[in-house]
Structure 1
């Protein structure tokens, strides 16, 4: 395992220009979310039991059919349902995650590993960043999920506010933290992604500073591959989290806990359903990660000049 030297510690607890990670992460997340929003809507519906009867397969062809059906039956705007809450959630979520990870790995290295970064430093920083981000932004994702599971089209602002008031009235504050246990389980995805990204980025380090297409291809490939592998390993938590965030049906909350949801899905629908929406998910998150990380790295490099 090859270590890399972390920047020298500054007189403050946080590294110099720590704000760059916050800004770069937020901008990268915003651009990625806008570009891939239609696939996010499809993924959420395929993960949910509310659309199980209509959509039963998980192929890329099925993803295309659902996109077509939403466009024809609900309007083009429906392909961007939940984008308002998504952006409200993505910008702070990515800002918090990149800020916590980017600065955290330096703080951990400087204070606990003689100023050097390695895989264990990256793993620890990524896990902390995932927990902090999940806790801070879970209410936003609950609202987004509820919006995407509705048929028809409402304005983002009006729909979001109506959903917020409904959750508060029917479920209380705890309703905004539905799926938080699954989000914590999903910290493993972010951890795997960051660690793998750092390793792949190191393998393509020979292209850095040369400019041109080769350098950016290496960066895009590292980000996309890391996200793809992490998603394939940890995807079932996404389905469980979506089920936990579903609204009541006929006044009954069907999914009430992490393990109860896991057992119920397997018993009623089979283990295969834990991968519902996987194709749509990969079609969204892989290019999303490529866009997000390239913008993040680009801003950091531009600010460092």
Structure 2
């Protein structure tokens, strides 16, 4: 595995993330589908992707499909951080480990980058999920500050780390994705081909998503607001003592309750939409990543 410039890789990761965010409305619909499966929390139970689209556009306008997009742009920092750590991690392991256990080494550095970046950026994902699910506000930035204040009022600092356990499990998603991507690039000899780079990026994400999608569903359900009685209550109007228990009491409880209420299908709500989104999104991400990496590296030289 070729070692790369950490700074150039970080900049390229940021650019790739911004480019792939052009498909943000599909992510919005997916998140709403997943969250709406919990009937005891949200009054709207979306039947399918078209129902989400129609309901949002008719009630809040077409721009509602981009709520939280500004946080998504900010969260591009997560990819910047990820690729920076990824390239740095390649340099800290001893030479014998790289040579004698190349497969384990490849997976290890990807996992290290994924775990560290998740621990640092988890609050961003929680706030983003809350903003995407809000229905009553017209101010995107107002939604953001309202979500932050409400999370802190309801659950304190720990509220910003809801969904961390499935998020850490999903770190294997990033690790496996980069692992497969690096190998597919070598197999397809994609160094000088944008098409082959796109294929490598798309296939690697497709395979990891099929395996780990239930963890993503669980993470989103834990990150959403957990107190049904206070969904439409502003932060300043919340009582000092919240007596209502959270709908999901933790990672294990979320899995058990989802299965009890919806069966195994509850873990796969929005999967078809996710598959339709990730192929072009990740193909675009890695094409832009490789192009920008080459440009930045040339300037560094």
**Interval containing the TM-score (normalised by the shorter chain):** 0.7 to 0.9
Residues 132-189 of structure 1, C-alpha deviation per residue, up to 9 Å, x if partnerless? 1110111111111111111144322111001101111121001000000110111121
State yes or no: 1:208 paired with 2:191. yes
Q: Which of these residues, 243, 246, 249, is aligned with residue 221 of structure 2?
A: 243
Q: What does residue 55 of structure 1 align with?
A: 46
**Ranges in structure 2 where 5+ consecutive residues have no aligned partner:** 230-243
State yes or no: 1:276 paired with 2:269. yes
Q: Is the 8 A contact 1:77 1:153 kept in 2?
A: no
Work out the CA distance in 2 between the residues paired with 1:156 and 1:110.
49
Q: Is the 8 A contact 2:185 2:191 kept in 1?
A: no
Q: Is the 8 A contact 1:38 1:80 kept in 2?
A: yes
Call closer, same or farther: CA 1:117–1:18 in 2, change over 3 Å.
farther
Q: Is the 8 A contact 2:6 2:85 kept in 1?
A: no
Q: What does residue 199 of structure 2 align with?
A: 221
Instruction: Kindly state the Cα deviation for residue 117 of structure 1 after the two structures are TM-superposed.
Output: 8.5
Residues 1-55 of structure 1, C-alpha deviation per residue, up to 9 Å, x if partnerless? xxx5x45xxxxxxx7x42111111111112212x111011111111112558532
Q: Is the 8 A contact 1:46 1:52 kept in 2?
A: no
Q: What does residue 104 of structure 1 align with?
A: 89
How many correspondences in the alignment? Answer: 279
Q: What does residue 297 of structure 1 align with?
A: 290
Call closer, same or farther: CA 1:168–1:82 in 2, change over 3 Å.
same
SS at match of 1:254: coil
Q: TM-score, normalised by structure 1?
A: 0.85
Root-mean-square deviation (CA), in Å? 2.0
**Ranges in structure 1 where 5+ consecutive residues have no aligned partner:** 8-14, 57-61, 210-214
**What pairs with 1:71-150 in structure 2 (closer than 5 Å)?**
71-89=57-75, 91-108=76-93, 110=95, 112-114=97-99, 118-150=102-134
Q: TM-score, normalised by structure 2?
A: 0.86
Q: Is the 8 A contact 2:126 2:160 kept in 1?
A: yes
